[in-house]
Amino acid sequence: MKIAIIGGGASGIAAAIYAKRNNEKNSVTVFERSDRVLRKLLATGNGRCNLSNEYISPDNYFSHTPDVVSKILSAFTPNEERLFFESIGLLLCSEDDRIYPYSKRANAVSDALRHECERLGVNIRTNSFISKIEEKGEKFVILGEVFDKVVISCGGFSAPSFGTDGNSFTLLKSLGHTITKTSYALSPVKVYENVKSLKGIRTNATVTLIDNGERVRQEQGELQLTDYGLSGIAVMQLSRLCKDGSIIEIDLMSVFSKEKLVEFLLTRKENFPHLKADDFLTGIMHKTLAQYILARCNINANIPAENLLKKDICALAQEIKALSFKVKSVIGKEQSQATCGGALLSEFDTETLESKKVKNLYCIGEALDCVGDCGGYNLHWAWNTAYITGKNL
Ligand SMILES: Cc1cc2nc3c(=O)[nH]c(=O)nc-3n(C[C@H](O)[C@H](O)[C@H](O)COP(=O)(O)OP(=O)(O)OC[C@H]3O[C@@H](n4cnc5c(N)ncnc54)[C@H](O)[C@@H]3O)c2cc1C
């Protein structure tokens, strides 16, 4: 059986390994447009590769066909995943439920995958961009060569510098598949307010997305401020749902209720009457952020803390608990870590991910209409879908 895998990313390489293990007589060729496979994997998790999560649930994914996602997720057990990494010699560890290679180095994962491909005799052709898949009866012609089966694993349209520019969708469309509405997920967000002075600040926060007055989703985690807006895991998790005009509300001190925070600040005023207002919040939070909040409350930075009125204290508590920004846009393309939308899952058999439209055609990974949260969910999806297809090839 001659198998072509289009795209040498996480899902394509894992599928090649499964296909070869499944039947050593399978001839498996991975076509990769870049000069090496798994380039994106090296950048994941800030170079540490958060390759999965201890708790995988359909709730961590978004798709236009959530039932299909549930079925696919249930077919790949945590034990199956652990066995796969063990079988390529990769030791794992976890931190806050996120699973990493023990060395916390993404190249440990890419090297282990590449070595297993070499051992199994997977044929890897780099610098091979596939722009056309020609159907010939139940077979396919790719770069003049005939294949029995083709797996499309060329990702979505996020981070095009890693070779993923959405051409997978063009290929799939040319073969008769439906591509759902696509947008950028796991991205930073641009806001209308001028936040230039806050660039570089990182803090933990509870972040809530509000759309038309409705609290749509809340996340807790790292918040990063940039010269154009907001980033960090907590904001990236919400970005898929952000629209022009949505409000992002930040609680910088979720350990306090607003009432308790007012009490705390009033006591602080008693204890530190000599502090200038400018320094009143120093020691509680980043100084520049404290000054920004003071300015938003129209409080004169030069008055002593003892002159702060109860209404000033209440205004500070309000801003600290609900610092809000108006979303202008989601910063996509290179800064987005995953694509929302893709090949409509109901057009594929859930047991194998074979196309219901074109026999012997398969699609796996991010090219499918399913996107996960931050936390290893997207790479889990890549291994999961590779397993389903690979073990059936
Ligand atoms: C900066 C960054 C950090 C991330 N961190 C994490 C993380 O820590 N944890 C997590 O779970 N997810 C993370 N992700 C998301 C995760 O990397 C992807 O969801 C995952 O790699 C998708 O796997 P894939 O195999 O579907 O596609 P990809 O890994 O994107 O691979 C697709 C491959 O196909 C190739 N290709 C494309 N078109 C063609 C063509 N026509 N012909 C030949 N080759 C082609 C591309 O060059 C690429 O190598 C991150 C993403 C980015 C950008």
Atom from ligand 1 closest to the CA of residue 154: 34
Structural domain harbouring 193: 186-247
- 66 and 180 in a single domain? The answer is yes
Residue 301 Cα to ligand 1 midpoint, Å, equals 48
- 85 and 15 in a single domain? The answer is yes
Measured on CA atoms in the order 308, 314, 320, 323, is the torsion positive or negative? Answer: negative
Q: For residue 129, what is the domain's CATH number? A: 3.50.50.60
∠ CA 35-41-44 to the nearest 5 degrees?
135
- 156 and 193 in a single domain? The answer is no
188 lines ligand 1 (CB under 6 A): no
- 133 and 74 in a single domain? The answer is yes
| pLDDT tens, N- to C-terminus, the chain (393 residues) | 999 999 999 999 999 999 999 999 999 999 999 999 999 999 999 999 999 999 999 999 999 999 999 999 999 999 999 999 999 999 999 999 999 999 999 999 999 999 999 999 999 999 999 999 999 999 999 999 999 999 999 999 999 999 999 999 999 999 999 999 999 999 999 999 999 999 999 999 999 999 999 999 999 999 999 999 999 999 999 999 999 999 999 999 999 999 999 999 999 999 999 999 999 998 899 999 999 999 999 999 999 999 999 999 999 999 999 999 999 999 989 999 999 999 999 999 999 999 999 999 999 999 999 999 999 999 999 999 999 999 999
Structural domain contains residue 328: no
- Give nearest CA residue, ligand 1 atom 46: 163
pTM of the model: 0.94
Tokens 């296909």 correspond to what residue?
Answer: 19
Distance (Å, whole) CA 147 – CA 140: 5
Q: For residue 300, what is the domain's CATH number? A: 1.10.8
Atom from ligand 1 closest to the CA of residue 12: 25
Q: Name the domain boundary from 202, 218, 247.
A: 247
- Strands 338-340 and 183-185 come out as antiparallel
339 lines ligand 1 (CB under 6 A): no
- 233 and 278 in a single domain? The answer is no
- 173 and 204 in a single domain? The answer is no
How many domains does the chain fold into? 3
11 lines ligand 1 (CB under 6 A): yes
Atom from ligand 1 closest to the CA of residue 39: 49
- 98 and 219 in a single domain? The answer is no
